[in-house]
Amino acid sequence: MEINPAVTFKHERELMFAKRPKVLIVGAGLGGLTLGAILQKSDIPYDIFERAPKVKPLGSAICFNATMAPFLHQMGLMEEFVSLSKLVPSIQIADQDRQIKFTMTGGFDDARRKYGGETRVIPRPEFYDMILQQVPKERIHFGKKILTTKQGGNGVLLRCSDGTEYEGDILVGADGAHSAVRQNLYAELKKENKLPPSDDVALPFSTICLVGQTKPLTLEEFPHLALDESQFIRMLAGEQPYTNATFTTKRNTVCWSLVQYLDAETSRENDSFRNSEWGPEAAEAMCEQVRDQPVIAGGDRMLTIGDLIDWTPKEYISKVMLEQKVFQTWHSCRTVLIGDACHKLNPSGGVGATNAMHDAIVLANYIHALPHHPIADEIESALTSYQAERIEWVEKDFARSLMLKKMVSKGLVPMIIRFMIKYMPEFMMSKRADEIALVKPALQPSLNLKGPTHQQQEEGIPAQTI
């Protein structure tokens, strides 16, 4: 197909056979898979293109609160999700001496009654596999590195490094912080002098994260596994610039993450890795540096991150560099970005995956609402509405994530933040939880899925509880 920006069609739709727009999704992460799973149920044609040759069971844990309940109910996944996850009653904040300094419970205690769902933790590989099962294998094309993208009034075109080309009507960049789709789109906009200066700069980063999940452990090895509820513990930074978090899971494993906060000097030292694939050697070197970081296991066990590393298969440990930025340009013409491709949140907030999936839900609604044979202007109008609906909530989560990053860091400002959170009145904690719980995107009722519709939520009809 020859993509011509000058070509636009004005259809006599009543004379044409029904045809939904074809969606090309670049990236098979949680955002891309979620969008694919919804389009599958909507009978909207799509294909997913993933750069990696296969799926790897990497990552730590994901915490989901009530904001994901409508989607899980509507997709028929809630029962499976509950069977694989564990209830999180609170976040415990501890110091380097393994002493719990305070507990964050705002919004946890009566979440089911107030918000129609609870906060639960699930290993990321298990949740990813659950969503992956909703997408037919033939819809995902692995080993597809995107070289160029092209769009115009009559469609979009992908060109891959293996020489293959793919045509469609809408292009979705769900391919992460260093998105090839975004880079191609921004290059096109820059030539046209349409790219804001704030989007034409390198991604800032100040965080390196080491993550993994242990093999199943015994209660003697990790006593907290005996508790019915997940023990979510975040460790404050000490003399070294590290914090860690641990979660006990339904499978008697421990999901763990260790974050290194970089200053100006160490950020420059690590900048050479910005666009590279980090191999197992890099992860192994960092593992040796952080082995003595303390963790809380329950009972008399005095464990460290080193013990968790030893209990984790080496191939399941990954080291990633994490940026933080909300881009202002999410779409143009027929191309749109979701997830990390348009907003990269600090991991301290723990809401990166949730926001990527919320993006996918909202975008799917607008794609589903398009008429048959949509023209470029109709598509761009839908993409504009998608960004307008999502960006306010993303920016709020971005700010919350930065605040939580400061809370676990060292220094005077983090101490003040911890003091304020520790002694925050209950009504203020409840108000903050209420604000977060407002963001519960649901799929359009025309999809005929289970669960509450947008209208039901607006009228105050409660969602089915977990």
pLDDT digits (tens, 9 = 90+) for 343-395: 988 777 678 899 999 999 999 999 999 999 899 999 999 999 999 999 999 99
| Token pair belonging to 340 | 């990390």
Which residue type is seen at 329? T
Distance CA 87, CA 214 (A): 19
* Mean per-residue pLDDT, 260-276: 57
pLDDT at residue number 466: 29
pLDDT at residue number 133: 96
Residue ranges per domain, the chain?
Answer: 1-54+142-202+325-406, 57-124+205-323+424-454
Distance CA 211, CA 309 (A): 9
Percent of the chain whose predicted confidence (pLDDT) is above 70: 81
Between residues 283 and 191, which one has the greater pLDDT? 191
* Domain range 57-124+205-323+424-454, its CATH number among 3.30.70, 1.10.150, 3.40.190, 3.30.9: 3.30.9
- Taking the chain, what is the end-to-end CA distance rounded to the nearest angstrom? 48
Fold of 1-54+142-202+325-406: FAD/NAD(P)-binding domain (3.50.50)
Q: Is the pLDDT at 143 greater than 50, yes or no?
A: yes
Distance CA 350, CA 14 (A): 48
pLDDT at residue number 397: 86
- Residue 443 pLDDT class (50, 70, 90 cuts): confident
pLDDT at residue number 416: 78
Distance CA 218, CA 307 (A): 13
Q: What angle do CA 293, 296, 299 make, to 5 degrees?
A: 140
288: alpha, beta or left, given left = phi > 0 and alpha = psi -120 to 50? alpha
Evaluate whether 318 touches 277 at the Cβ level (below 8 Å): no
pTM: 0.87
Q: Is the pLDDT at 167 greater than 90, yes or no?
A: yes
In degrees and rounded to multiples of 5, residue 407 shows phi and psi of -60, -40
CA dihedral 84, 89, 95, 97 (to 10 degrees): -80
Edge-to-edge order in the sheet of strand 254-261: 100-104, 91-94, 232-235, 242-248, 254-261, 205-213, 318-323
pLDDT at residue number 125: 92
pLDDT at residue number 105: 76
Rounded to the nearest integer, the mean pLDDT of the chain is 84
Distance CA 274, CA 237 (A): 24
Q: Is the pLDDT at 22 greater than 90, yes or no?
A: yes
Q: Which of 189-193, 196-200, 319-323, 461-465 has the lowest mean pLDDT?
A: 461-465
In degrees and rounded to multiples of 5, residue 206 shows phi and psi of -145, 20
| pLDDT one-digit tens code per residue, 398-430 | 888 777 777 777 777 777 777 777 777 766 666
Q: Identify the three-state secondary structure at position 2.
A: coil
Q: Which of 19-23, 58-62, 136-140, 265-269 has the lowest mean pLDDT?
A: 265-269
Q: Which of 162-176, 193-207, 247-261, 321-335 has the lowest mean pLDDT?
A: 193-207
pLDDT at residue number 174: 97
The tokens 């860091």 sit on which residue? 409
Distance CA 249, CA 229 (A): 9
* Mean per-residue pLDDT, 274-279: 44
The tokens 């590290």 sit on which residue? 242
pLDDT at residue number 398: 86
pLDDT at residue number 77: 95
What is the Rg, in whole angstroms, of the alpha carbon atoms belonging to the chain? 22
Fold agreement between 1-54+142-202+325-406 and 57-124+205-323+424-454: no
Instruction: Please give the helix or strand (H or E) that residue 272 lies within, else none.
Output: none
- Residue 114 pLDDT class (50, 70, 90 cuts): low
- How does DSSP assign 118-185, residue by residue? --EEEEHHHHHHHHHTTS-GGGEE-S--EEEEEEETTEEEEEETTS-EEEESEEEE-S-TT-HHHHHH
What sign has the CA pseudo-torsion 7, 167, 380, 38?
positive
Cα–Cα distances (Å) from 370 to 18, 352, 363, 377, in that order, read: 12, 28, 11, 11
Q: Which of 73-77, 247-251, 424-428 has the lowest mean pLDDT?
A: 424-428
* Mean per-residue pLDDT, 287-292: 92
